[in-house]
Structures are given as C-alpha cells and as structure tokens.
Amino acid sequence: MKRVAKLVSFGAINLCALQAFAHQTGTPARASGWSWEPFVVLPLAITAVLFATGSARMWRRSSARLSVWPTLSFSSGLLMLIVALDSPIHEIGDQLFWVHMTQHELLMLVAAPLLVMGRPVVTFLWALPIRWREALGAAAKRRAWVTVWSLISAAPAAWLIHALALWIWHAPRLFEAALQSEGVHGLQHLCFLGSALLFWWTLIHGGHGRLGYGAAVIYVFTTAAHNSVLGALLTFAPHPWYPSYVASTAAWSLTPLEDQQLGGLIMWVPAGVILFVIGLALFAAWMGESERRFQYTRVAALVASEASNKR
C-alpha cells in the first residue's frame, strides 16, 4: 500500500506541474505546448462544421422541439478529442507511459461514449446535399453493407473487437512501433477510438431491440474486468515492458518501472471506476425499462379484463 501511495503521489505531482516542470528539468520544449497538428485538427474541424450545419438545419426545419443534450454531448466529445490529441498530453505521452495511458482512456472511455450519445449520424446527413443523402441511403441498404454491419455491430462482436484492439496494441512490439512512428501511432489511436465508438454505439443505441440494457450491463462489466487485468499486469510487472520510456522518465523524477506502474494503476482504477459507473447507469436504465414493461403489461391486462367483463 505504501508503494501504491507513493506512485499516486508521484502522478499527482506530475499531473499538476506538467508544463512548468518540463522547463525546469530540461524536457524538450515541444512537450510543453499544444501541437495543433493539421492531420488531427482538420478532420475535427470538418466534423464540427458538419455537425453544426446539420444541427442548425434540424432546428430550423423541425416542428418539434429538439433536445439540446445530443448537441452538448457531441460537443463535449469533440472537446475531449482535442484535449487527448492536441494538448500537452499528446507530446508528453511520448516521454511518460502513464500520460500515454491517460490519453488512451480519454479516447475510449470519455470521448467515445460522449460522441455516441450525441447521435451524430442523422445530424451529419442533414448537413449534406439531398443527392448525397439519397446516395448514402441507397448504399446503406445494400446487402453487402447490411451483412457486414450486422456482424460487427452485434454486441459479442463489438465487445471482442474492442478487447482485441486494447490488448493487441499494448503488446510491447506494437506499442514500441507506435512510439517510433507517427503513422503507426495514428493507426493505434484510430483503432482505439473506432473500436470504442463501435462498442458504445452497440450498447447504447444498437442493443435495445435485440439485447436490452441487461445484456449491456454484462458487456460493460466484462470490459471493466479484462481492462483491469491488463492494468494489473502492467502494475505488478517486475520490469518495464516498453524500452522507449527508459531514457525519458528520469527527467520527471520517475524510474521506468514506476512510470509503468502508474500507467497500470490508471488503467486499473480510474478506468475501472468509469466503466463501473457506466455499468450502474445501464443497470438503472434496465430496471426502469423492466418497470415500464411491467406497468404496461399490467395496464393492458386490466383493460382486457374490463373489456371481457362488459361482454
């Protein structure tokens, strides 16, 4: 417990003083500012413009009052993507493993569910010309696409894809490749974010008719379980898994093993807590759904009984 407390203290100190400490210790200046890399900023900017345009058109043309929650949720998700991919977190993640893990958790456990809850697909379609919408609608109805989407959006498949992305990319050889190449690093982030978007979409939007909230709870808790196992393996490993961090952690008053243990703890505890809270929210929704169905069945039975008595 003393060692865990020491690691948490190190993490808190580093988190509160990332930029100032970088200048004091001689860490490269590039790690103390926002990167604003074009290949990250441009897609996010285009996404934001499309969402804003579609939302404005929906508000103007809809006779019903639309909820502001999807807009707030999607906007918050985009903000989290900017924080994860363009803030000092991105650059410092090349020097500290625990910061890199924080970046990944922001992508998978914060940004992804917020984006999914924003229901952006319909909004994006409203932003496009009518001909484009019709073409996309026709393409979405093709048998090949329907078959592929049905396969990958089934809850077991989405769960497996997300789990494989998490475990495979944390294999030392692949993780090291991501640290050495920006292209591979970008692919890693696309796999994490894409698999997380698929996973959360399946549980939040795709499973109501097929599985319901009850099954979603199981998938969230099993995700928390295997995520915690990976975090525990990193925390209790007797030696560092990723050699690239050996030369950079000393500038932050951490040994490579302490840095890895902090990263494992972040994946194990805070990430586990987030998944646990989401699981509890889905469980509460499941109970509410069951109560509504019970009340509906009860009312229907009473109406049928009264109609039978009148006859």
Q: What is the pLDDT of residue 310?
A: 60
User: What pLDDT shows up at residue 187?
Assistant: 94
Note down the domain range covering 249: 2-310
Q: Is 58 buried (19+), middle (13-18) or exposed (0-12) by CB count in 10 A?
A: middle
The answer, yes or no, to whether residue 229 has pLDDT greater than 90, is yes
* 275 within 8 A of 221, measured Cβ to Cβ: yes
* C-alpha 85, offset from chain centre: 13
**pLDDT, tens digit, 9 for 90 and up, residues 42-97:** 999 999 999 999 988 888 887 656 678 889 999 999 999 999 998 899 889 889 99
222, burial (CB in 10 Å: exposed 0-12, middle 13-18, buried 19+): middle
| Domains: count for the chain | 1
State mean pLDDT over 232-237: 94
Distance, in Å, from the CA atom of 286 to the CA atom of 41, rounded to the nearest integer, reads 38
Q: Which of 19-23, 107-111, 228-232, 254-258 is the least confident region?
A: 19-23
Span of 48-62, 179-193, 198-212 with lowest mean pLDDT: 198-212
Q: Over the stretch 3-18, which tens digit does the pLDDT of each residue have? A: 444 444 444 444 444 4
The model carries a pTM of 0.81
Rounded average pLDDT over 230-256 = 91
Average pLDDT over every residue of 180-184: 91
